[in-house]
Structure 1
Amino acid sequence: MHNTHEPKLISGNANRPLATAIARRMSMHRGMNVSLVDARVERFNDQEIFVEVYENVRGEDMFIIQPTSNPANDNLMELMIMADALRRSSAARITAVIPYFGYARQDRRTKARTPISAKLVANLLTEAGIERILTMDLHAAQIQGFFDIPVDNLYASPIFALDIAHQFNGLCDRITVVSPDVGGVTRARELAQRIGAGLAIVDKRRSRPGEVAEMTVIGEVEGQICFIVDDLCDTAGTLCKAADKLIEGGAEEVHAYISHGVFSGPAVERITGSRLKSVVVTDSIQPTKAVEDCPNIRIVPTAPLFAQAIMNIWQGTSVSSLFEHETLAPIYEGLYGSNGR
C-alpha cells in the first residue's frame, strides 16, 4: 500500500557517503529534498554505542542505511540500536538497507561444534524491530530463508553489464567471464549471458583454509579479455593467483568485477603489484584511502540502484524489476556515456 508519508532515511557510521548519495538520488527522482534524518550515532568512552534521533519519526516509513562491514560487530550493533530507537519512537515500519551483509560467509556448519552465525544475525535483526531487509549480492542466497521477514536481494551484475558495455564497447566477442571457483559459476554465467560472452572456471583446491594449493583453468581463455567475477574480495590472494593462471593460459588481459571490496590485510598491496589490469568494485563498503589511491581499483556507484529500490519498497511496487538491464539503464543514464574504452 502506498504510504502517505515520504520515505525517511537514517544512516549509521559505516558508509555515510553512500547514504548521502542515496538521499541525493532520491531528491532528484522525487523533485524535492530528501535528506538524512538528523541523529547522532556515537560511542561513549567505554565504546558503548549511543543513538539519539532529533526528528519526529512517529508513523514514518524508515530506512536505515548501514552495511555491516569492518568493524562488523560495531556496525551491526549500531544498526540494531538504531532500529530499537526508531521502534521506541513509534516508526510505522523499519527497513534495514544493508548494502554489504556481514557474517554471510558463516551460512552453514562446515565442521562439528561450529555456529551458523548468519542465522544468529538474522534473528538479532528481527528481534531489534527490523521488518524488512534490502541488501545486495548475499554471499549465499539461502540466507534469505534465515529471515521470517521479507528480504530483497539486489544484484550488482546489471551495473557491471552497463560498465562493461561502456568500457569495452564492441569487444564482447573477445570477452570471457571467469568464475574464480566452482561455487561462483551461477554468478559468472549470469553476467556472461547479460553481455553475450563466453564462460570459464578456475578450479582451486586448498591444502588448508586460506591457502590455495592448486589451480586449473577450465575453458578457453587464450587471446581473450578475461573478467573474473566474484561477490567479494577479502585478502585478494585467490584473485591475484587466478589472474596469474589466466595470463599463463594465454589471456590477453585480466580484469575483475567484485560486488563487495572487503580488502583486508595485504589486499590492496597485492592488487597493486598483480597482473590484474583493473579491479572494479561497488561502493557497498566505504573505500579506504588506500583503495581510492590504488591505480588499478575502480569504484562504481550503487546509490542509483538503492535509491530506486527504496522508492519501490515505499510505493509498494516491484523490486525485482531492478534485476533487468532495461530497467537499470535509464537509472544510470548520464553515469555511462556512449563512448567505448
Structure 2
Amino acid sequence: MTFDSPGFHSQSIRASAVVFEDPASRQLYERIGRIGPSEATVLVAGETGTGKELVARLLHRLSPRAARPFIAINCAALPENLVESELFGHERGAFTGAVSAKRGWFEAAQHGTLFLDEIGDLPLSMQVKLLRVLQEREISRVGGRSAIPIDVRIIAASHVNLEGAVRAGRFREDLYFRLNVAQIRVPALRERPADILPLAGHFLKMYGERLRMRSIGLSPAAERLLIAYAWPGNIRELENVIHHALLVMNGEAIGPTDLNLPGQRMPMEASHMPLTQETAPPGFDAALLPLFESGAENLYDLVEAKLFQAAYEYCHRNQLQTAKLLGITRNILRHRLKQYGLL
C-alpha cells in the first residue's frame, strides 16, 4: 500500500515512509484515515526518524483544509528569545532589530494547519502563552495591542514521552490535555519489519535516479542484514544506509559489505575445503556437521532457521516468550517464522 491510495497525493511529499505493508503500519494508515478529515487537534508520538511530519502532512491532506497552507515548525530549533516572535509575529519597534512588522507562523498558517514538531522543547513560559492561544483562538503580536483571530488546526509532535515530562514538571498538564485530543503513535521501524525492504527499494530508486545509476537491487544477503538490523535511527537511518551503499558499491547489486551497519552480521561463506569430523577445527561442535555437509549454498539461513525453530519449540510455540528469549520484537519473530515455514 502506498500514498497513491485514495485521498493521498505522494508527488510533493518527501520520500520517507512511503509504504504501509506491515500490519502495524496498516493500522497506522487506517487511524490516519479516520482522524484526518476531522478538525481535531492531534498529538503525534514516535521516535526520531519515524516520519512524524509525514503523518502530519497526510492528516492535513485528508482535512477540509487541504487547499490551505501547511506550516511545519521545529520548536527545538527556535532560539528561546525569539520563540514568541516567530510564532506570533511582532510589530515594528517591538525590540531591537524589529525594523518592520512581521507575521508569525500562526498567521502564516491561517485557515490551514500548523505542525509544531518537538513541542516538548518549548520553554514553560511559552507553553503558557500557547495554551492561551489554543483556548482563545487569537494571538497578539509582540509589541502589539490588538488581538488577531486565528483559524488554524494544530498538529503537535514529540519524540519524548510528554506524560513523563508532565510528571517531571517540564511540560504543562493543561497544555498536554489541550493537545492530546486525538493521538497517533508512529511505530518504530523495528516494529514494522515488513516495511523495511519496500522502503529500501524506494530509496534505491530515488537515490539511483539522482546519481544517474542504472537499476540497482539488493543481494539476498544484504536483504537479510537489513531485516535483522534493529534500526535505532528508524526510516531516516535506513535512507542514509541505502544512499551510502549506492555511493560505495562496486558490483551489480548492493551486498553486505556495502551496508554501513554497526555490528552487522555477515553471512557465513562456504569453505573451499569440505568440513568433516577430521577437518573441523578444535572445539567445533560436531552436532553442526550435518548443516555443513548438506552442501547448502546459504548456510546462514539454515543456522538461523534451526535457531528460531529450537527457540520456538523450547517456548512451547509461545510467540511472546520466544521473542523475549531471542531479544527481538514479536513482529520480527512472526516475520522470521513465516520466512522459515514455521508459522
Q: TM-score, normalised by structure 2?
A: 0.28
Higher relative contact order, structure no. (Cα contacts within 8 Å, ≥ 6 residues apart) = 2
Which one has a larger percent strand, Structure 1 or Structure 2? 1
Which one has a larger percent helix, Structure 1 or Structure 2? 2
